[in-house]
């Protein structure tokens, strides 16, 4: 499975934070790099890389890393 540059950035930020980050904190980390964090997370969830409650993450959602790069 190939990850986009944005997906790789999100993956690394989650990995640096023990595989979990709140959506708001993750969005703040990504703000200077790119926009559209929700859409990118949705694509990552479809690939089975991350998990969160609902179809699109809300501000209070916790984003959890499900797969590591060795799993991909």
The pLDDT of residue 71: 65
* Percentage with pLDDT > 70 across the chain: 97
Cα 33 from Cα 69, distance rounded (Å): 21
Phi/psi for 59 (5° steps) reads -60, -30
Do 61 and 23 contact (CB within 8 A), yes or no?
A: yes
Q: Which residues contact 58 (CB under 8 A, 6 or more apart)?
A: 23
Domains and CATH numbers, the chain: 5-65 (1.10.10)
Position 18 pLDDT exceeds 90: yes
Cα 61 from Cα 32, distance rounded (Å): 21
Q: Which residues contact 47 (CB under 8 A, 6 or more apart)?
A: 1, 3
When pLDDT is cut at 50, 70 and 90, the band that residue 69 belongs to is confident
């Amino acid at each position: 499975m190939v990850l986009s540059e944005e997906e790789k950035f999100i993956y690394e930020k989650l990995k640096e934070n023990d595989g979990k980050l709140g959506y708001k904190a993750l969005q703040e980390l990504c703000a200077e790099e790119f926009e559209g964090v929700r859409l990118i997370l949705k694509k990552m969830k479809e690939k089975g890389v991350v998990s969160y409650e609902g179809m699109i993450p809300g501000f209070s959602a916790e984003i959890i890393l499900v797969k590591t790069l060795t799993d991909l």
